[in-house]
A and B are shown apart, each in its own frame.
Chain A
Amino acid sequence: MTGETVLQVEKPGVHCTLQDLGRPGHRLAGVPPGGAMDRFAIAAANRLVGNPDNAGALETLLDGPALVALEGCLVAVTGGDFQPLVNGAEAPGWTSLWLAPGDRLGFGRRASGARAYIAVGGGLAGDRWLGSVATYQLVGRGGIQGRPLRAGDRLALAGEPAHPRISGRRLPEDRRPAYSAEPALVAVRGPHYERLAPAARRRLFAAWWEVSRDADRMGYRLQGEPLEVRGPELISFGLAFGCVQVPASGQPILLMADHQTAGGYPAVAGVARAALPLAAQLLPGQRLRMVETPVTVAQDAWRALRANLEAII
């Protein structure tokens, strides 16, 4: 913890953790990339307050924390629409907001989405592990002692806030991801697609898949008519964020930020980077569809999404 202490946690919310863009480069040790589930939203929040995309920011699930400013600071809330409130008055999302000392950032009723991001000018400090402040709860590392926020926690800046501190900067609505409670996710055929029975191949990219209650930062179990897989068991191989695996039950698993780094279930599809922010905003009971896309087209979709970060006005 280096910079000044800027925020005090009055209420922690259901599950609010410090994240950044994760710690790639350590899969050889079995360490997943981790970091924000919605990489577009955290990058946008950071840019709105003058931070690099990878600065530490809060990821809050289902509801928001209540934070009191101890010092003046610039904040921005992005991701799901959690109705940010400054001193009880509605404040816009995807917009930089100035908090004076004593101001309270809270949240109203969640209107849509699963995860919101709160960035602070200067970036939030946390325990750095393997080059990242992202909270990784399985091993209790990163973030605030490797755990979600608690009431009474005080959050410090990682560095000096960039100048000028401009409130009212925003990302126009048409430049934000097309979040939906029933998104169509750009996806690429996976290495073991041909292990699916013919009917299952058709269904993989045609059917709606419901996010089950077994959905967390590691991955989502999806529910639908089971997919029949054929052939002998595979030997374990390395996995990636967005992989769709099919275990013997036939119910697919979508791997998310804190995913296991190796496994042996057939990988039948991979959700593209451009679509992972949409997946990150889903809750149990909502459903998704995967749209088969060539790799190069999926990569272009990510470039197009990323270019939207330049549209902050």
Chain B
Amino acid sequence: MPRRASPRGPRLHALGDAAALVEIGRRVDTALNTRAIGLAAALRKRRGVREAVAGYASVTIHYDPDQVTFAQLQATVRNLFRARPAPPVPGRLHRIPVTYDGPDLEEAARALGLDVGELVRLHTTPTYRVFMVGFVPGWAYLGPLPEPLRLPRRSVPRTHVPAGSVAMAGAQTGVYPLPTPGGWHLIGRTDLPMFIPDHDPPLLLRTGDRVKFFARN
């Protein structure tokens, strides 16, 4: 099991023979996430590192073993971790218009003991952070969700969730970028595309960005 960061810095774990994972924490936490984003950015400049993807509190490194060995990469990670992190790059702020009329809106409000207006007010209050991007193209994991809005996932996931659905589950919220199956509670929808195939990068929300939803209805 990944250990807590020792004084020597976090341990590198193999993900197959050309990728590795470094976990710097186990919590959903802005400071840890900022650290992960900074570590990924620094790693991307290193020889042999092809991609470095920040997770909530981790970095997944895709590397070329012909240019850098696993042991060298481990040493690089520890050196970078010990160094004073670069000041975080402030993420862009997105204001996303939402029509709050999702199929789960009323049921979610009932389960939470709120009326729909309160649910919408709570969902539109925070400025969320994009903790990571992944799963499918353009999917941004947003959080943290206010405590009074936290529900477990739906017991039976939907086989089809339309693109643009605004959803929440646990401490997370997000917008489905593509029509996919999904188990989150659908509370609204937006017309703003999350997946923009003809852009590079092909997505709206990037790791470290900030998001504020506002109600259109």
Our pick among A189, A236, A238 for the contact of B14 (Cβ within 8 Å) is A189
User: In the complex the two chains form, is A194's CB within 8 Å of B17's CB?
Assistant: no
User: In the complex the two chains form, is B139's CB within 8 Å of A30's CB?
Assistant: yes
Query: For the complex, is B173 an interface residue (Cβ under 8 Å from A)?
Result: no
Identify 11 new A-B residue pairs, CB closer than 8 A, beyond the known A238-B59, A239-B15, A240-B62: A25-B51, A28-B133, A29-B206, A138-B136, A138-B178, A191-B13, A237-B23, A238-B134, A240-B16, A262-B135, A302-B18
CA distance A301 to B17 in the complex (A): 10
User: In the complex the two chains form, is B133's CB within 8 Å of A272's CB?
Assistant: no
Residues of A within 8 A of B206 (CB): 28-29
Given contacts A24-B62, A188-B17, A192-B2, is CB(A139)–CB(B135) below 8 Å? no
Our pick among A195, A261, A273 for the contact of B134 (Cβ within 8 Å) is A261
User: In the complex the two chains form, is A30's CB within 8 Å of B70's CB?
Assistant: no
CA distance A106 to B92 in the complex (A): 53
CA distance A182 to B200 in the complex (A): 41
- Chain B, interface size category, equals 35 or more
CA distance A261 to B59 in the complex (A): 13
Query: For the complex, is A270 an interface residue (Cβ under 8 Å from B)?
Result: yes
Query: For the complex, is A130 an interface residue (Cβ under 8 Å from B)?
Result: yes
User: In the complex the two chains form, is A270's CB within 8 Å of B17's CB?
Assistant: yes
Interface core residue of B16, B54, B134 (most chain A CB under 10 Å): B16
- Binary interface profile of B, 171-211, with partner A (CB < 8 Å = 1, else 0)? 00000011010000000000000010100111100110000
Query: For the complex, is B89 an interface residue (Cβ under 8 Å from A)?
Result: no
Query: For the complex, is B113 an interface residue (Cβ under 8 Å from A)?
Result: no
Interface residues of chain B, those whose CB is within 8 Å of chain A, are 1-2, 13-19, 21, 23, 26-28, 50-51, 53-60, 62, 65-66, 69-70, 132-139, 141, 177-178, 180, 195, 197, 200-203, 206-207
- Chain A, interface size category, equals 35 or more
User: In the complex the two chains form, is A28's CB within 8 Å of B53's CB?
Assistant: yes
Query: For the complex, is A141 an interface residue (Cβ under 8 Å from B)?
Result: yes
Interface residues of chain A, those whose CB is within 8 Å of chain B, are 24-31, 129-130, 138-139, 141, 187-192, 194-195, 231-232, 234-243, 260-263, 267, 270-274, 295-296, 298-299, 301-303
User: In the complex the two chains form, is A299's CB within 8 Å of B15's CB?
Assistant: no
CA distance A180 to B161 in the complex (A): 39
User: In the complex the two chains form, is B28's CB within 8 Å of A235's CB?
Assistant: yes
CA distance A25 to B135 in the complex (A): 15
Residues of A within 8 A of B57 (CB): 235
- Min Cβ gap A191→B in Å is 3
- Min Cβ gap A36→B in Å is 16
CA distance A302 to B58 in the complex (A): 27
Given contacts A27-B134, A29-B202, A138-B178, is CB(A188)–CB(B14) below 8 Å? yes
Residues of B within 8 A of A274 (CB): 17
Given contacts A30-B139, A272-B17, is CB(A237)–CB(B195) below 8 Å? no
Residues of A within 8 A of B1 (CB): 192, 194-195, 231
Interface core residue of B15, B56, B177 (most chain A CB under 10 Å): B15
Residues of B within 8 A of A188 (CB): 14, 16-17
Residues of B within 8 A of A25 (CB): 50-51
